[in-house]
Amino acid sequence: MVRGKVQMRRIENPVHRQVTFCKRRGGLLKKARELSVLCDADVGVIIFSSQGKLHELATNGNMHNLVERYQSNVAGGQMEPGALQRQVAEQGIFLLREEIDLLQRGLRSTYGGGAGEMTLDKLHALEKGLELWIYQIRTTKMQMMQQEIQFLRNKEGILKEANEMLQEKVKEQQKLCMSLLDLHSQQPTQPMTYGNRFFSI
């Protein structure tokens, strides 16, 4: 049986919420222990339930030691906001340069030049990059098509309303014409004399 996609919003039923909390807390702590054992990492997890109850896990030592290590690392690694922004910008520029270089090599290999320079890892990276770009292009294309469809639906609704208004006006004109014809047909004929002859109108 395929599980449905879980909606990321607060669970209103308190019983279901508590059951979900217990299950997911257990899974999170289990994954933290596995990460510590497999990768020889010091992992600390702190959880406060909706009732304010504390749940914690420190894989090596205790939580107090982990918190002290965290605070010392944060205090020692603090930098000015401007320096942090420059560092992030430099990392972004470096990644863009690598991406451009990879694209250029891919283009050269596509057109028959520089194929020998591409290793298997680089070809895999290029393939993943191309798949990602194709996905982004298709996503953008689908969004544009959906916007176009919505625009046409709105236009269809406007034209339908205008058509209904015109039909109402035509019906009103027809009713007015019928009323005038009925009124004219109901008027009595009045005789007129012209000399010794009678005419009716």
Domain membership flag for residue 71: yes
> Which contacts qualify for 18-22: CB closer than 8 Å, 24 or more apart?
21/49, 21/50
Domain membership flag for residue 192: no
pLDDT in tens, 11-42: 888 888 888 888 999 999 999 999 988 888 88
- pLDDT score at 104: 74
- Indicate whether 72 and 128 sit together in one domain: no
- pLDDT score at 197: 54
Domain membership flag for residue 156: yes
Separation of first and last alpha carbons in the chain: 88
Domain membership flag for residue 86: no
CATH number at residue 34: 3.40.1810.10
Domain membership flag for residue 49: yes
Domain membership flag for residue 137: yes
Domain membership flag for residue 28: yes
Distances (CA, A) of 177 to 165, 169, 183: 18, 12, 10
pLDDT in tens, 45-104: 999 888 888 888 888 878 888 888 888 877 665 555 566 667 777 777 887 777 777 777
- Residue 200 in this model has a pLDDT that exceeds 60: no
Domain membership flag for residue 45: yes
- Indicate whether 72 and 125 sit together in one domain: no
- pLDDT score at 87: 72
The domain total for the chain is 2
- Report yes or no: 44 and 28 within 8 Å, Cβ to Cβ: no
Q: Which of 76, 93, 110 is the last residue of a domain?
A: 76
- pLDDT score at 146: 86
pLDDT in tens, 103-154: 777 676 665 555 556 677 777 777 777 788 788 888 888 888 888 888 888 8
- pLDDT score at 84: 61
- Residue 201 in this model has a pLDDT that exceeds 60: no
Range of the domain at 72: 14-76
Q: What is the rounded distance in angstroms from the CA atom of residue 186 to the CA atom of residue 192?
A: 19
